Structure 1
């Protein structure tokens, strides 16, 4: 059996072990945050309120040196996540975008951390209410199923054939019904959803625009940029540069 010499140099502790022992890597509770987004997507207000109550007792990470700015940046991030969650849950683009823009402005208008804390609860309630109302008054079962399929496969190369196969209807029938109820073609709807989803990656990651075009299955970066500008009136770079510091 081999032995270790007294003079042998032992390997340093692995970085992952250092990270586990360092308190700053424990915040926020990603498990709770994931559960919160699931609750928002499912329109479960009671569950979401219970989770956010647990999160409120945890130490929050710092997003800026100035406390008020840090709290604002965190709430901006949460607002973006709520927007994505209710879109995945079946909310209309109009409802999600209106809530997003409304609360982005509200966040910036807050003057104290207490105002932001109050707004956090109000924002959660309004997003879930918006989702549930949108679900109740929106589309037929077939179109809701088609939209849910699109949202859950948004990173894939979606086709009318694949969507209609999932919904067990004829492609021509689905195309006609989709345009009639939603007001846009399936291709337009898919591109719009891809652009909305790509905003999160532009704001919260450093992935290149070319990589994002590939991630969302656009044929090339130029087409991605053209579609992004069509739906947002900005290029992806302009949108990324506009994010709060």
Structure 2
């Protein structure tokens, strides 16, 4: 047995003894499997219920301080959730970008209760990505390519001609085909996606409404506000406050 093994084993045994004395047992592995499968399928209700069951159990201690311990636990969950949505069909690069973004947010929090709340918000974001992926799979190849292009260039100027050129079809053909398959015009679909993505910035950042409007290439803050209210029923400021 190597020197590292002899030092690691006593630490494991002492940790194991402490857990037994304190009566701590990790949540059943079936719960974790159930949660990851619900995420893979995009089943938000099932995933939320399972996470609540898991959180009813006492969490593992992963650091000397409660805040660091909770952050470590959420980062571990984030890694598992990332693998689950990749198995659910999400592009790996998209999944890893989401994971990186969430881990950076986790590190910014300085309150354990806020981290507990964020765990559920994080779950919702992962499932939203899976749902968007399943939505795309119902369309034709041309429309799927168009939607993928819109997602990847959501912070840029998006025009019918640019998207049609990318997928290799006539703009008028793409416009009519898009409306036929999705039930929405291409312009409305783009605006709806931009509004949906902008919600995350309203919730999780301190950017002003005008900064967010500029980020998503809306012509003005007033137009962004008008469009946001038309699609969601509330203004960006009301959404942020709520």
TM-score by length of 1: 0.56
1:201 is aligned to 2:197: no
Number of the residue aligned with 1:215: 215
Partner of 2:119: 74
The aligned counterpart of 1:90 is 133
Return the alpha-carbon distance in structure 1 between the equivalents of residues 84 and 145 of structure 2: 19
**1:179-228 Cα deviation digits (max 9, x unpaired):** 11111111000000000000111111111100000000100100000111
Matched residues in 2 for 1:41 and 1:213: separation? 31
Counterpart contact for 2:178–2:185, Cα < 8 Å: yes
Tell me: CA distance 1:40–1:161, structure 2 relative to 1, closer, same or farther (3 Å): same
Matched, 1:182 2:226: no
Q: How does 1:51-200 map to 2 (within 5 A)?
A: 70-83=115-128, 85-86=129-130, 90-92=133-135, 135=137, 138-200=138-200
RMSD: 3.5
- Give 1:146 deviation, angstroms: 0.6
Which structure is higher in helix share? 2
Question: Which stretches in structure 2 are left out of the alignment for 5+ residues?
Answer: 1-64, 93-105
Answer whether contact 2:71 2:115 (CA < 8 A) is retained: no
Answer whether contact 1:90 1:148 (CA < 8 A) is retained.
no
* SS of the residue 2:198 aligns to: helix
